[in-house]
Structure formats: structure tokens, C-alpha cells
Homo-oligomer: A and B are copies of this chain.
Amino acid sequence: MLTSLEILCVLPLGLLQNRISEIMTTELERTKPWEILSQYLTSGDANYVKEYISDLSSEELTSLISHLSDENRKTLLTMLDPQDAVELIEEIPYVQAAQIMEDLETTEAAAIINEMRSDDQADFLAEFDTKDTEAIITEMMPEKAENVRKLITYAQNTAGGLMITEFLSFEESSTVGEVADHLRENADKYERYNVQYIYVTSNNKFVGVLRVRDLVLTRPDVPMSRIVIRNALTVKDTATLEELIRFFNTHDFYGVPVMKDEDELVGVVLRKHILAEEAELANKELLETQGIVGGEELRTMPTLLRSRRRLSWLSVNILLNIAAASVIAFYQDILSSVIALAVFLPIISDMSGCSGNQAVAVSLRELSLGVVKPFEVLRVLLQEFRVGLINGLILGLLIGAAAWIWKGNVYLGMVVGGALMINTVVAVSIGGTIPLILKRFSMDPALASGPILTTITDMLGFFLALTFASASLSYIS
């Protein structure tokens, strides 16, 4: 029988131990798919490779590729037919695919890019430098090369950079029967197109749109001009990602036609691509607020590149930190009289940073939802001030009480608590407004808000604690 002591202590510990040894075993003894694939890649048999990866889900492929060596990753892509390589690339995350593509030779990259959908072509080409891009385009099929040359002139986060150029358009004089015949004869080709809508033109000028399924309900001899919807919504090729996100928030369409110079139909932006970009945007903000800058980082990227990119952010931060800490250096004499303060300075710095960052996060979110506009600084200031006041009061009382109890000196408690109280109010108020002000001046709020905030609140926090101490030196030392 088990005693209560055993039940309380030994049983949970035993369970935890089992769980840990289970985890270790899984990690160590698991069959490793990347080792199997590496063998196939070394053997050079493309059919084995193709068959092996075709059974894998998108997630298994992603994990598998992240375990291959740089060399094997290159071999994998070049060993497959270009069409199969494109299918593989479409399965894995873009940042992972871009990393492999960049390593390929011009000819190899060109063969694969040639088989991609037009918007993917433009995206991947943007990852190469100008010289390589030109070399790759030269190797592509002439018709596709001309098309992609137009696409890469657009900025990436505009309708022109996000649109696909594979769409169905017919002159308004065509009849429903002619269009249906054409669709039937080219069914294979259109399989990969956006076939929700048919766009109607007149002498290459955009006239309107109709849904493919509307053809079902119409007699074959009716011309397109009779059934086309003429007041169709369109976007300009220069429309920004933010405008497109708003467009699809408001309109429940699968896609929207893109116009150059008012009425030349140049492409179609699909809702699904914009939704995917919206998720990317949120992920980019998440990485930036945590100090990952200069694009996404995968751990399969070279260590030196990862290290350098992270340092670019850290080295700015360390300078700001030194600047803030110089406030402490200035008040060294006071600190050596009341050494207990040194315990509280890091707490004040860290807690004000936390409170301020909460307000930063809410502002980033409200900006992206559109419930607050960059010019509404005063309104946000007021709304954050109220929260800062309550939380500053409570946190100040907590830390003040801790200092009082620890040293038995109520004045020390007042110095420390008062400093944290005031500093929290300021941190929360400016944390809420900094993102709006940065946005207003077209700077990136996710990237810069954190360091600006913590520098200000560190300096102020140290200054407040040390001047309060200086003023009450006879009571607390």
C-alpha cells in the first residue's frame, strides 16, 4: 500500500520521470526521414526521391527540408523536374523556399521559376540581386519573361505586386456559347487559373465582370455584352496592401480586377492571397517587437547571418541602455548611501517596460484593426492615462510595501513606490501613444516603439528613484 507521503511526492515525480524519458527516447530513436532522403539524394535516383516526397504532407516536407544540409537541399530541387520542383515549393513556407532558391545556379533557378504562377515568379525574383534577376529572366520563355518583367516593376506590397496575371477575359462581342466552348477546350490550362470570374473587355478596355456560374443560366447565343455586370468594383495597380485588406473586409469577393491607367485590365488580386499577406503582416510585427529585424529568420540560415541581423538590433539597444544607466552613474553617491536602492532599480526598469509594452501592443492592434487613427494621440493618451494611474497606484503600493517591510523604513518604501507609481503612469501613457506618432511620421511602430519606450522609462525611473532618495536622504540612509 502507498503512504500519503508516497502519493504526494513519489508518484508525481515518477510520472514526470517517465514523461521525460519518453520525450528523450522519441527524440533519439525516432526514424529520421531526412536521413532516408539524404541517401536517395546521394544515390542520384530522381524517381525514388519523387516517390518518397510525394507521400509526405506539407508539414512533413517542411520539417524534412529544415533538416537537410544546404547541399542536399540544392540537389533535391535540381534533381526533380521543374514542374515537380514548383509543386514542392508551393507546399513549403515561402521563407524556406526562398532560402533554397537563392542558392541555385541561374539556369536551375530559371527553369523552376519559368513554371511558376506569375505572382510567385515576381516574388522569388525579388529575392535575387538585379544582375541575377536579369540573368534568370533571360533564360525564361520569351512570353513569360515579358510578363514577369512588367510585374517586377511593381512594389511588392501593392496590387500590382500581389496580383496574378492568369485570368479569363473575353471581348464583349463573344457569345456565351463561344466562351463555354473555349473553357471546355482549355479545361486543363484553366484548372490552375482563378476561374471564379470572367472579365469582359472592349478593345482591350475593361467593361465588366460576370461569374462563371452565371453562364449556366444563360442561352449559348447571348453575347457577353448582354449579361456582363458593368459597375464592377476594381482597384488601381498602385493600391497598397492595407487598402486591399480593407477592400476584402468590406466586399465578399474571391478576387478583384486590377486596373492600370483607369481602364486597362492588368491582373486580378485574389482574396486568399490578401488574407495570407494579412497573417504575414501580423507575424512580421510579432518578430519585430521581439527584436528580429531585416526579415524572417530560420535556424537553417547561416549562423553568421542570424547573429549579424540580431546584433544590428542589440547594438542599438545596448547604446540606449548605457545612456539610460548613465543616470545611475550620475547619482552614485546617493546610491552608495542607500545601497538598498540598487535592489529596486532593475525592478523599476523592468516593470515600467512591461506596463508600457502592454500599451504598445494594444496600440499596434488598434491601428491594424482601424479602431484608432494615427492622429488620435490625445484620445489614446487620456485612455491610457486612466489605466496607468490605477496600475501605477497598485504596483507602487506593492513594491513600496515590499521595501518598507524589508528594511523597516517607511520612507524607503515611499521613495521606491512613488518612483514606480509615477513611472508606470508615464510608461503606459507614452507606450500607448508612441506607435501612433511613429505611424504618423511613416516609421515602423512595431520595430521602434519598444526601444524608444524603455529608454525613456529607464531614464525617468532611475531619475525619480534617485532624486526622491536624494531629497529624503536623512530619513532613509
Contact = CB atoms under 8 A, between A and B. Distances in A.
Contacts of A271: 272
* This chain's copy number in the assembly: 2
Contact of A58 (B91, B250, B364, B395): B250
A317 interface: yes
Given A344-B325, A371-B96, A310 B213 contact: no
A382 to B, nearest CB: 10
A193 to B, nearest CB: 12
A307 interface: yes
A360 B290 contact: yes
A27 B361 contact: no
A298 B351 contact: no
Given A343-B328, A354-B317, A370 B290 contact: no
A412 B440 CA distance: 44
A83 interface: no
A27 B366 contact: no
A355 B310 contact: yes
A361 B286 CA distance: 7
Given A279-B282, A365-B287, A63 B310 contact: no
B345 A346 contact: yes
Contacts of A373: 63
Interface string A429-445: 00000000000100000
Given A336-B339, A350-B321, A291 B93 contact: no
A399 interface: yes
Interface stretch (A127-135, A148-156, A385-393): A385-393
Contact of A361 (B212, B281, B290, B369): B290
A62 interface: yes
Interface string A50-87: 00000001110011011000000000000000000000
Contacts of A120: none
Interface residues of A, number: 119
Contacts of A458: 346, 350
Contact of A406 (B195, B329, B399, B454): B329
A380 B298 CA distance: 11
Contacts of A350: 317, 321, 349-350, 353, 454, 458
A98 interface: no
B344 A346 contact: no
Interface in A363-382: 364-366, 368-373, 375-378, 380
19 contacts: A27-B377, A93-B371, A271-B272, A272-B272, A289-B290, A290-B357, A291-B357, A292-B362, A299-B372, A307-B387, A310-B358, A314-B354, A317-B350, A317-B351, A318-B395, A322-B347, A322-B402, A324-B346, A342-B345
Interface of A: 23, 26-27, 30, 57-59, 62-63, 65-66, 91, 93, 95-96, 180, 183-184, 195, 212-213, 215-217, 246, 249-250, 254, 271-272, 275-276, 278-279, 281-283, 285-287, 289-292, 296-300, 303-304, 306-307, 310-311, 313-315, 317-318, 321-322, 324-326, 328-329, 332, 335-336, 339-340, 342-347, 349-351, 353-355, 357-358, 360-362, 364-366, 368-373, 375-378, 380, 383-384, 386-387, 390-391, 394-395, 398-399, 402, 406, 440, 454, 458, 462
